[in-house]
C-alpha cells in the first residue's frame, strides 16, 4: 500500500473556497471561535469537532447525491 505523506491536500483545488466556508459555518454552529490565520489557542477537542462535523456533512452530501442519481 502506498503512503500518502500529504493527507491534508485538497484534491480538487476549485473546492477550497467552499470547504473554507463550510469550516467557518460549522465552527460558528458549534460555538468554536475560529478566526482567519493561526488558531493555536483551540483545544484538540474543538478543532477535532469542526473537522469531524465537516466530514459528517460531506458524507451526507455525497449520500444525497448518490441517492438522487439512483446509485
Domains of the chain: which residue ranges?
15-32+43-68
* Residue 12 confidence (pLDDT): 87
Tens digit of pLDDT per residue, the chain (71 long)?
455 556 678 888 888 999 999 999 999 999 999 999 999 999 999 999 999 999 999 999 999 999 999 76
Per-residue cell: 34: 475560529
CB environment 37-70: b (16+ within 10 A), e (fewer) = eeeeebeeebeebbeebbeeeeeeeeeeeeeeee
Distance CA 1, CA 48 (A): 27
- Calculate ∠ Cα 41-47-49, nearest 5°: 145
Per-residue cell: 71: 446509485
Amino acid at each position: 500500500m502506498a503512503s500518502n505523506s500529504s493527507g491534508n491536500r485538497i484534491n480538487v483545488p476549485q473546492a477550497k473556497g467552499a470547504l473554507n466556508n463550510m469550516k467557518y459555518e460549522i465552527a460558528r454552529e458549534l460555538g468554536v471561535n475560529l478566526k482567519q490565520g493561526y488558531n493555536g489557542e483551540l483545544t484538540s477537542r474543538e478543532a477535532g469537532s469542526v473537522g469531524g462535523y465537516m466530514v459528517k456533512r460531506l458524507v451526507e452530501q455525497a449520500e444525497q447525491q448518490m441517492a438522487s442519481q439512483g446509485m
